Structure 1
Amino acid sequence: MSDAVVMTSVSKVYGRGGGAVAALREVSVTLPSGGFTAVMGPSGSGKSTFLHCAAGLDRPTSGSVRLGGTELSGMGETALTELRRERIGFVFQAYNLVPSLTVEQNVLLPLKLGRAKVDREWLAEVLRRVGLGDRARHRPAELSGGQQQRVALARALVTRPEVVFGDEPTGALDTMTARDVLSLLRETVDALGQTVVMVTHDPVAASYADTVLFLADGRIVDALPAPTPAAVADRMTRLGAYA
């Protein structure tokens, strides 16, 4: 299994002098290709900063981030924007859909922005996989929250990205709908060989991953393979997250 993302001694400090806050401290981790990694930790532990640095949305103060064989630290903004559009998929808690566009147009947005060719067969396959094959002409307002998040997932997958990053992707969904979306993420890993990295606060969501990384005070303090909801909740309690 190759490496999708390699972070080496990554630190991120916000502010200067006495008001400086270290969000990440010397984080080194390898996220494997074709794996599903969940990232958990108490509020303020650095989860979002970890995701933003790993995905090239934010620059580390020090250290190195590699996506595949590409070192991100020396890249300019334009090159980073292109890299994110072509090689990375994003699914956020907010669906970030364009209300005036149809499902199909929303899904194709990253390809249109990158002036890339549309593979109609792959588009149909992605829409079918997320259960929206018959909704391609609908607009977001005609869809439920769960369906809108599926559109966001299809948009993340349509570029055939090296990694899909999810930031609390089920945070705004009810329990049953969240499980549908998590099952879809799991299926993209198992059936399509997709790499998924997901920040979550929910032990049930984390249990869909192959491995859970636990952050505390900007450091990775533990990793739990083959997680169960109970084991994840227990570990979070010992981090003081649910105390």
Structure 2
Amino acid sequence: MRNILQEARFGGGATGVPGPADVVRLTAVRKVYGGAGNGVVALDEVSVGLRKGTFTAIMGPSGSGKSTLLQCAAGLDRPTSGSVVLDGVELTSLGERERTRLRRRRIGFVFQAFNLLPALTVHDNVALPLRLAGRRPERGAVEEVLERVGLGGRLRSRPGELSGGQQQRVAIARALITRPAVLFGDEPTGALDTGTAREVLRLLREAVEEAGQTVVMVTHDPVAAAHADRALFLADGRLAGELVRPTIERVAAQMTRLGAGGAGQ
């Protein structure tokens, strides 16, 4: 039964065609860095939809455009052309101030570097996105999200008193506190050992399955990608394949093909 439900959930095959259930939708997105004479094409007419309540891994060789895709999808960078719609809002039509406001209210971020403020307690680090958005945390909200990531007893600790894995769990709690439409992760397990990385991936998986969160994660690691519902592959700025319910072996094989120049296969 679970497989049947998953097929319905991810129906549409490997085309990457955006659909009405997408919380993020990129249409013909092109991103060029530099001028007309020396421009570098980072994304080349990419169209893809990311479904609400799913976990998507974005993969590809170095320089394939995966981080640029995340930055455009999250409103951190503006495409040269094309359309990006997040939670029903066309990002490319917004000014910088409006995009900043939307990011604070509707998007969560988890990066390889934890980006915690060392002078603040764990509690205050988690509450910071709400305060930046001009909102006060609901009573018990910070405590609740820290309980979810297993740090309910470390409210008054400082980041320097925590392990790397604990700091990343604080970063996940901080990303979830605003109840974002999408949580974007850029190599969130890249600085962690294998066991700690597995714990962080389990938390992201639980956020999808238990809270209906949408997670989009850039990673180079087939083990991390195997926790996702779907893996998208980029090569030379273009979509180069897709796996639904990826396994470590299938992801590694696809990455090997792309690394060997098999993006067109």
Q: TM-score, normalised by structure 1?
A: 0.98
Residue 114 of structure 1 and its aligned partner are, at CA, apart by 1.2
Residue 120 of structure 1 and its aligned partner are, at CA, apart by 2.5
Structure 2 match to 1:216: 235
Greater relative contact order: 1 or 2 (C-alpha under 8 angstroms, separation 6 or more)?
1
Structure 2 match to 1:110: 129
- Structure 1 residues 26 and 103 mapped into 2: Cα distance closer, same or farther (>3 Å)? same
Q: Does structure 2 retain, via aligned residues, the 8 Å contact 1:42–1:241?
A: no
| Mapped pair 1:199 → 2:210 | no
Superposed CA offset, 1:102-138 (max 9, x none):
0000000011111112113332221011001000100
Q: TM-score, normalised by structure 2?
A: 0.90
Q: Which runs of 4+ in 1 moved over 4 A?
A: none
- Structure 1 residues 105 and 231 mapped into 2: Cα distance closer, same or farther (>3 Å)? same
Q: Does structure 1 retain, via aligned residues, the 8 Å contact 2:143–2:155?
A: no
Residue 3 of structure 1 and its aligned partner are, at CA, apart by 1.3
CA distance in 2, matches of 1:120, 1:44: 44
| Mapped pair 1:78 → 2:123 | no
Structure 1 match to 2:50: 31
Structure 2 match to 1:151: 170
Equivalenced residue count is 243
Q: Does structure 1 retain, via aligned residues, the 8 Å contact 2:187–2:217?
A: yes
Q: Does structure 2 retain, via aligned residues, the 8 Å contact 1:90–1:156?
A: yes
Residue 75 of structure 1 and its aligned partner are, at CA, apart by 0.4
CA distance in 2, matches of 1:223, 1:160: 28
Pairing 1:43-62 to 2, within 5 Å after superposition: 43-62=62-81
Q: Does structure 1 retain, via aligned residues, the 8 Å contact 2:107–2:183?
A: yes
Structure 2 match to 1:233: 252
Q: Does structure 2 retain, via aligned residues, the 8 Å contact 1:12–1:23?
A: yes
| Mapped pair 1:131 → 2:147 | no
- Structure 1 residues 183 and 236 mapped into 2: Cα distance closer, same or farther (>3 Å)? same
Structure 2 match to 1:97: 116
Structure 1 match to 2:192: 173
CA distance in 2, matches of 1:112, 1:180: 28
Residue 242 of structure 1 and its aligned partner are, at CA, apart by 10
SS at match of 2:140: helix
CA distance in 1, matches of 2:126, 2:260: 36
Q: Does structure 2 retain, via aligned residues, the 8 Å contact 1:41–1:214?
A: yes
SS at match of 2:75: coil
Question: Which deviates more, 169-178 or 123-132?
Answer: 123-132
| Mapped pair 1:10 → 2:21 | no
* Root-mean-square deviation over aligned CA pairs: 1.3
Residue 241 of structure 1 and its aligned partner are, at CA, apart by 6.2
CA distance in 2, matches of 1:123, 1:194: 17
Q: Does structure 2 retain, via aligned residues, the 8 Å contact 1:107–1:154?
A: yes
Q: Does structure 2 retain, via aligned residues, the 8 Å contact 1:87–1:160?
A: yes
SS at match of 1:53: helix
